[in-house]
């Protein structure tokens, strides 16, 4: 345990939100503030390894209705790094399996005097619904294909650490854009901070409708790779698809996997990212995933810092 740095003794004056539900509703200033606080926590905890007593007495509950490894573990560790108590909720062993509603479950848990609820749910809008009906702070850990704000923040933080600024960069999100909450959060955050965003993938997964969000749409990775400063390679989410959006995994990999040949045509300092879990040989080949331009493990570590910042900002702002 180390002493709390003076700059973290109280939350930034320009952050007043009790919840973190999406990046769409945040201003560029609020996004930058969240990134700044995450970086301060990363530095103050010696790369997220030691504890700070900033949230002593706070209780956070992880309410996950979908499988998760990185996000759930990250939120749990983030709470403990800040001295908070973290409680895990299992939907399969709860009254939800007996027919209890999400709101009733959440209200029951809130009545145990918790301060923050981190929720992942298959239904878009579930965190927003809880935020309107609960007194505790709510953090969205992924609501169906809608948004995953802390994943968006950690991706952007990783880019900022390696490039210094987001403004003026060309960032491509490649893969299953249609079903990706990570893509949506990245688009909102990157656009607000001044990046040019390209969404790339098969036409069955990347509709021209995405242009309405102010992004460039491409169906040809080879056509855009030389222009990109960052490639974020998104997992094909077969569990959210009702029909196969392309003939075969082999064909997808041939057209859209980042491999050695495409790396040779890319910028020398390109960043290779993936929100995980990665499918080696599908979205990215092993040599690229483990190569010198890959920052995938940096993203995982930054997830701790961002989630510490999220818990700190929403619980401190609500007091």
CA distance 167 to 189: 11
Helices (H), the chain: 28-44, 70-81, 102-110, 126-133, 149-163, 181-192, 221-224, 249-256, 260-265, 286-289, 296-317
Q: Residues at the annotated binding site? A: 70-71, 98, 120, 148, 151, 181, 235, 276-277
Q: Is the dihedral of CA 160, 161, 164, 168 positive or negative?
A: negative
CA distance 221 to 200: 7
CA distance 150 to 295: 17
Q: Residues at the annotated binding site for carbamoyl phosphate? A: 70-71, 120, 148, 151, 276-277
CA distance 2 to 312: 17
Q: Residues at the annotated binding site for L-aspartate? A: 98, 181, 235
- CA dihedral in degrees (164, 169, 170, 175; nearest 10)? 30
CA distance 318 to 116: 10
- CA dihedral in degrees (11, 17, 23, 25; nearest 10)? -140
Q: At what angle do helices 181-192 and 28-44 cross, to 10 degrees?
A: 100
Phi then psi for residue 315, to 5 deg, are: -80, -35
- Cβ atoms of 274 and 235 within 8 Å: the answer is yes
């Amino acid at each position: 345990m180390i002493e709390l740095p003076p700059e973290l003794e109280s939350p930034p004056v320009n952050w007043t939100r009790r919840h973190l539900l999406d990046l769409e509703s945040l201003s560029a200033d609020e996004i930058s503030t969240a990134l700044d606080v995450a970086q301060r926590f990363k530095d103050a905890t010696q790369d997220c390894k030691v504890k700070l007593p900033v949230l002593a007495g706070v209780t956070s509950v992880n309410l996950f209705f979908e499988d998760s490894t990185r996000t759930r573990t990250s939120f749990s560790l983030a709470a403990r790094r800040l001295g908070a108590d973290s409680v895990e909720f299992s939907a399969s062993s709860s009254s939800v399996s007996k027919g209890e509603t999400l709101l009733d479950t959440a209200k029951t848990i809130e009545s145990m005097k918790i301060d923050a609820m981190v929720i992942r749910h298959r239904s878009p809008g579930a965190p927003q619904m809880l935020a309107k009906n609960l007194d505790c702070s709510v953090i969205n850990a992924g609501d169906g294909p809608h948004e995953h704000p802390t994943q968006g923040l950690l991706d952007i933080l990783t880019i900022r650490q390696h490039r210094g600024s987001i403004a003026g960069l060309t960032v491509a999100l490649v893969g299953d854009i249609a079903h990706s909450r990570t893509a949506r959060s990245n688009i909102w955050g990157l656009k607000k901070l001044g990046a040019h965003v390209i969404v790339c993938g098969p036409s069955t997964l990347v509709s021209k409708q995405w242009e309405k969000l102010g992004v460039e749409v491409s169906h040809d990775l080879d056509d855009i790779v030389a222009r990109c400063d960052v490639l974020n390679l998104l997992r094909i989410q077969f569990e959210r698809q009702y029909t196969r959006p392309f003939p075969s995994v082999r064909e997808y990999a041939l057209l859209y996997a980042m491999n050695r040949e495409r790396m040779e045509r890319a910028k020398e300092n390109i960043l290779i990212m993936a929100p995980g879990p990665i499918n080696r040989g599908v979205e990215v080949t092993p040599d690229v995933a483990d190569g010198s331009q890959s920052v995938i493990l940096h993203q995982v570590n930054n997830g701790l810092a961002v989630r510490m910042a999220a818990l700190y900002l929403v619980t401190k702002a609500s007091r």
